[in-house]
Chain A
Amino acid sequence: MDDLYREAILDHYRHPRRKGHLEDADIHYYDTNPFCGDEITIELKVEDGKIVDAAFDGQGCAISQATASMLMEEILGKDIEEVKSWDKEFILDMLGIEIGPVRLKCALLPLKALKAGVWGLDEWPE
């Protein structure tokens, strides 16, 4: 019954990976979900088109924060072009849970910040 809060998600929420700040980030993007006030900042270091360091910071619900933590593990060593292709399905596969439309916004906030960052957007196109 508590699939939304399966152990892997709670573990990332309690012990977030790569949470913090990069001194020399090449990409920095901050985004919020105005509906619930969740905040995510993503920082990336890029060398030869590959992500060589990554960190996130933020506050919010278990879903948004755990997703950001999982994404940070996922992204290390990846080609920036590959990251640009990540979509909703990628996130849902990574989380391994079913999510309703409202909480989906929580799960997608880190991806939204990440993609805006790698695409070099100033603002997310609505």
Chain B
Amino acid sequence: MLMEINPAAVTDRAEELKREFPILARRIGDKRLVYLDNAATSQKPEAVLQAMDDYYRLYNANVHRGVHTLSEEATALYEQARVRIARLLHAPSEKQIVFTRGTTESINLVANAWGRANLKPGDEVLITEMEHHSNIVPWQILRDQIGFTLRYIPLGLDGLLDVSDLDSLINERTKLVSFIHVSNVLGTINPAAELIAAAHAVGAKVLLDGAQSVPHMPVDVQALDVDFLAFSGHKMCGPTGSGALYAKRELLEAMPPWMGGGDMIREVKMSASKWNAVPYKFEAGTPSIAEAVGLGAAAEYLSALGMDWINAHERALVGYAYERLGQVEGLRILGPGPDQRSGLISFTVDEIHPHDLSAILDQTGVAVRAGHHCAQPIHDRFGIPASARASLYFYNTTEDIDQLVSGLEHAVQIFAW
């Protein structure tokens, strides 16, 4: 069905957009760069680079502090970025957007602020066997300190969550369900609405790891009715060190701060202090202002392209990639078919280690990730030490996929027994 989409039409607009990303004009040796490591980090368009450059050249000052012109302008830009992010996510208010360094920090914020105040021995936190390490380790650390039970929704060999036992996994002891929206290894799009409804039915809160969904598809926090959404700026055309946590207002109001310092306080006395309002209560210290401004510009850029278009482009391209990769000798794709996956494909090739594949692809100009992609439990489940991963974005074209496939065929030739 996906093959009915004309690959040329998919490619035309992407080819134009490529020109807005200076780095994509680079060559690797004498080869055209084909960047297929977008799940690790995306490239940045002129619009984002310009916004950050302008910030430092024209507006740089600390925010929420000075009364001079630069400080007021810097504060306005920083807060404008919050509004732009809220709009992208359809959040009711920009006050529900807390700036962080990325998904990992956002999840750790929930664990340390909400988790410490709300979890006790006997409670259950439910995650999945499909999680990135960033949504496993914070809960293991907190479990070891508090003594709640950490449970996992199992992963089927079809690359989908096995929800056959969900009725017992989500029960009256469950206080939080935290799961990855789109798998960074399998590409699987998880049934967020169903899991959120099941969690809410027992009064549990839900944290959604949107690192691989927010950059690639429309995510409406109100339609999803999600309690917390964590995501990273650098995977959605923004700078590294940027990201945010969206949360429901009443949760943010009730949560204690997790880091103390400047900007997060209303009043500091030697005996005790009072906290600033939401979201500033969670933004101690001078924030990453230029990064927030860059992320705001990225949110505007993606909004202007249209998340629906980005999603449609990637779904069509991943269908093309799925078919082309399937023709490579000895190549096995991890995870579900193209209908249930986002724009990334992890795979192994018989008798060739993923690091060797990646090294040979690099010699043909193609950048892919090789390793366990910070998700060892998934690889354990499939009984493999590592995989190679090609991950797409809206600037990738069918020509990029063709170059990947010919690189892989070259690797198969080199390693032919």
Question: Which residues of A come within 8 Å of B, CB atoms?
Answer: 1-2, 4-5, 10, 14, 35-37, 59-63, 103, 106
> In the complex, what distance in Å separates the CA atom of A1 from the CA atom of B385?
28
Q: In this assembly, does B356 line the interface, its C-beta being within 8 Å of a C-beta of chain A?
A: yes
Q: Is B372's CB under 8 angstroms from A37's CB?
A: yes
Q: Is B415's CB under 8 angstroms from A10's CB?
A: yes
Chain B residue contacts of A62, Cβ below 8 A: 352-353, 356, 415
Q: Contact string, B330-361, partner A, CB cutoff 8 A, digits 1/0?
A: 00000000000000000000001111100110
Contact of A36 among B29, B360, B386 (CB under 8 A): B386
Q: Is A2's CB under 8 angstroms from B386's CB?
A: no
A-B contact count (CB 8 A): 40
Q: Is B385's CB under 8 angstroms from A61's CB?
A: no
Chain A residue contacts of B355, Cβ below 8 A: 36, 60-61, 63, 103, 106
Q: Is B414's CB under 8 angstroms from A2's CB?
A: yes
Q: Contact string, B349-386, partner A, CB cutoff 8 A, digits 1/0?
A: 00011111001100100000011100000000000011
Q: Is A14's CB under 8 angstroms from B417's CB?
A: yes
B residues contacting the other copy or chain, number (CB 8 A) = 17
Chain B residue contacts of A35, Cβ below 8 A: 371
> In the complex, what distance in Å separates the CA atom of A60 from the CA atom of B371?
11
Question: Which residues of B come within 8 Å of A, CB atoms?
Answer: 29, 352-356, 359-360, 363, 370-372, 385-386, 414-415, 417
User: Contacts A2-B363, A5-B414, A10-B415 known; A37 to B385 CB distance under 8 Å?
Assistant: yes
Tell me how far the C-beta of A12 lies from the nearest C-beta in chain B, rounded to whole angstroms.
Answer: 13
CB closest residue in chain B, given A100: B359
Max count, chain A CB within 10 A of own CB: residue among B29, B352, B355, B417: B355
> In the complex, what distance in Å separates the CA atom of A106 from the CA atom of B354?
13
Instruction: Give me 30 A-to-B residue pairs in the complex whose CB atoms sit less than 8 angstroms apart, sorted by A's number.
Output: A1-B29, A1-B363, A2-B363, A2-B414, A4-B359, A4-B363, A5-B356, A5-B360, A5-B414, A5-B415, A10-B414, A10-B415, A35-B371, A36-B386, A37-B371, A37-B372, A37-B386, A59-B385, A60-B353, A60-B355, A60-B385, A61-B353, A61-B354, A61-B356, A62-B352, A62-B356, A63-B355, A63-B356, A103-B359, A106-B355
